[in-house]
Chain A
Amino acid sequence: MNDSNTFDAIVIGAGMTGGWAAKEFCDNGLKTLLLERGRDVKHIKDYPTTNMLPWEFKHRGRIPIEVAEENPVISRCYAYREDAMHFFVKDTEHPYGQPKPFDWIRGYQVGGRSIMWARQTQRWSNFDFEGPARDGFAVDWPIRYEDLDPWYSYVEKFVGISGNRDGVDTLPDGEFLKAWDLNCVEQHFQKVVQENYKDRHVIYARCAHITENKEIFQKQGRGLCQGRRICQRGCPFGGYFNANSSLIPWAEKTGNLTLRPDSVVHSIIFDDKTGKASGVRIVDRLTKETSEYFAKIIFVNAGTLNSNLILLNSISDRFPEGLGNDHGLLGKYVAFHNYRARISAEHPGHKDFAPEGGRPTSAYVPRFRNVYKQETDFLRGYACTFGAYRSLHTDNDGHGQTLAEHLLQKKEYGPWGVGSGMMGETIPKESNFVRLDKDKTDEWGIPMLNISIDYDENDEKMIHDFFEQYSDMYKKAGLTNIRTSDSKQAPGLDIHEMGGIRMGHDSKTSMLNKWHQVHSCPNVFVTDGACMTSVSTQNPSLTFMAMTARAANYAIEQLKKDAI
């Protein structure tokens, strides 16, 4: 150990949660090493396509077929297009085992997937935290909404969340900036649902976009969202939140941050004498050289499945099966969101109106199934998007002069289209797990991950119920040409994989305590999606951030008291 490789804190992963941990540590004077396995990405400077116009792309957005054929997994991701493909990990560059199909969507760079995320930020409620205990699956969460409430507020004020205070008990209100409008068809659907269902609500989705100028955003150098809807390229206005535009430069300004990109974490070093972790072993992505860094506290924020991998690969005499894995639970009880089901239709009314401009999201329907009591033959439920759209259509009939005249003269608005995507809660199960491949290593000598995750009967029943309930709701709203579809997509494409290093009260049945500390190695904290005991229906990133801020401040307190 020497001064150059010793820090107060090490954070593994420079994405959304790692960025939060680093910010909190640096703000509190801790010398912090932030490790990122991928390249550095500087805000604006490294967004090469952010100001490119649609006609400037050689393939007008398409992915070259050779790339798509070589990378079938990533090519199934909705955001993997010509404008943002440089932020996604190619299948060929980082292979993994799939005993069952799993579409693992990754972003290996400073900022991680926070550059390309969908920016939806709904709080959890106690209907979510109390779910496992009430419905008898997984283990009881060691925290409740009241534990996170102030940290949700803390994070929301910094991030900038637009939304309305809707007063819905399943989706608590937060520190909101003003919301964009619902359009007239979304308002129509909202009214119909309100009139017909006392426990179903259509609201404007809360999202991480700045809609009001505030000092905190000016300090970050971020401005108002311009509704460009090309956020996946990185935003030159800083209108949406990502780690690159806010957390990491904020931490750097303190002078306490050392950011080390191109650092593939091999494992956490455990000290048998102290019974704690002493540091982290890394392999340089480019030179393949191994080095070690040391710190009093280590935050694991590598992204759900890579955090599992790192703990599984952290072998010592004390932990031959992986750090903290005294019971064989590590890597198990992984869950995700069921995004297979969609419903769409047309709205025959409001023909004299159309939306103008752009906004970053649309309407949202919080979970209404099995909220207050068990009422179906499946556990839990689903939230849902609701969006209505209308655009100018051209007349492409004919050829020659006729076609030219049609295109230039005959433009009219098509019918309103509406659509909803189900966001279903899946149940964490021991049979959904990840493990290390004993026979295969990657080019940095780290065992490859095998992912074995699948749907179950509960998920199938939920899809069936979603189709029934939303068909009824759509019919009540007078929507026509209603179509349902089941994409049958593999787990993973929801990009909401969670668990494997779950929290719980009991060290015999969980990996982490209520402060996200590994029960048997308390100076190691896991605060990304890997810590999740269950997955609820809401987009999880806001909860990950609130959890990270809470755990980081706890760790700082303990460090100051020399209790860790």
Chain B
Amino acid sequence: MHKGNQMNRRQAIQQLTIMGLGLTLYPSCNTEKIPQYSRVPLDAKRYKLLQEVSEAILPVDHITYVTPEPRSQYILTILNDCTSTEEVTNFLTGLESLQQYLTGVKMSDLDKLSNDDLDKIFDYMADSKGQDENLYKFYRTTKNLATQHFTGCEKFMIEELKFEFVPGRYIGCKEV
């Protein structure tokens, strides 16, 4: 099993803090400003939730799989710069739905939940298609962007997808 697979979600989230990526998981406990995205306005509470969800939906070792920016920053940058107003609205509405759901089931701090509890939350989001479309779209968007961010990082592309920047050759028929 790969090193990254042995890490649970809680550890993954905590690593963000350890790495000092310029963001905090606990903005409500201090005065540090959260990044501002004009088309995706988030208060500290929702920003923290997005951070936690985007890490928990794909927990990986960020020390091994280094990325140019934290995952939540990537997601918000793509949303802010490259997606339609409708998609942004769906995302924000879905995030709000999640917030309300978590409040209802008294699970507000994702980083304190067990893997089983987190799975139940994600299962609920994945099954919300047709019942809460915005929550489902939020789930899809967050998962897709988190996956793109991870699979597009240097180590994954080179080691897992065999990416070569300067291949210098082409072999048309290589046995695999």
Q: Which A residues have a C-beta under 8 Å from some C-beta of B?
A: 53-56, 58-60, 62-66, 180-184, 186-187, 224, 226-228, 350, 352-359, 391-392, 394, 396, 399-405, 407-409, 411, 413
Contact = CB atoms under 8 A, between A and B. Distances in A.
Given A356-B162, A356-B174, A401-B115, 11 more contacts: A54-B152, A55-B68, A56-B68, A184-B172, A353-B175, A355-B171, A356-B171, A357-B168, A400-B59, A401-B59, A407-B147
B57 to A, nearest CB: 5
A60 B5 contact: no
Interface string B114-158: 010011001000100000000000000001000110111110110
B56 interface: yes
A359 B164 CA distance: 12
Nearest to B82: A62
B109 interface: no
B163 A54 contact: yes
A56 B69 CA distance: 10
B155 to A, nearest CB: 10
Kindly name the residue among A60, A404, A409 whose own CB sees the greatest number of chain B CB atoms within 10 A.
Answer: A404
A405 B5 contact: yes
Contacts of B148: 60
13 contacts: A53-B154, A186-B172, A353-B175, A353-B176, A354-B174, A356-B169, A400-B9, A400-B119, A401-B9, A402-B119, A403-B58, A407-B147, A408-B160
B63 interface: no
A182 B169 CA distance: 13
B127 to A, nearest CB: 12
B167 A357 contact: yes
CB-based closest 3 A-B pairs: A183-B172, A181-B172, A359-B170
A407 B59 contact: no
Interface residues of B, number: 51
Given A60-B152, A64-B82, A400-B119, A228 B165 contact: yes
B77 interface: yes
Contact of A227 (B9, B84, B122, B170): B170
B28 interface: no
Nearest to B145: A60
A85 to B, nearest CB: 13
Contacts of A355: 170-174
B152 A55 contact: yes
B60 interface: yes
B9 A59 contact: no
Given A59-B82, A357-B164, A392-B161, A181 B60 contact: no
B4 interface: yes
B107 to A, nearest CB: 14
B122 A400 contact: yes
B170 A181 contact: yes
Is chain B's binding surface mostly helix, strand, loop or mixed? mixed
Nearest to B163: A54
Contacts of B83: 65
Interface in B52-95: 56-60, 67-68, 77-78, 81-84
A410 to B, nearest CB: 11
Nearest to B144: A396
Contacts of B126: 399
A350 B173 CA distance: 9
Given A392-B161, A413-B176, A227 B168 contact: yes
Contacts of A181: 170-173
Kindly name the residue among A227, A357, A359 whose own CB sees the greatest number of chain B CB atoms within 10 A.
Answer: A357
A358 B165 CA distance: 9
Contact of B170 (A184, A187, A357, A399): A357
A183 B171 CA distance: 7
B61 to A, nearest CB: 9
Nearest to B155: A55
A356 B84 CA distance: 37
Nearest to A353: B173
B108 interface: no
Contacts of A183: 172-173
Given A56-B68, A353-B175, A408-B5, A403 B82 contact: no
Given A62-B78, A357-B171, A394 B176 contact: no
A357 B150 CA distance: 23
B150 to A, nearest CB: 7
A462 B166 CA distance: 39
Contacts of A224: 168
B97 interface: no
B2 interface: yes
B78 A399 contact: no
A182 B147 contact: no
B15 interface: no
Nearest to A183: B172
B65 to A, nearest CB: 10
A403 B170 contact: no
Contact of A356 (B118, B143, B147, B170): B170
Nearest to B165: A53
B60 A187 contact: no
B60 A55 contact: no
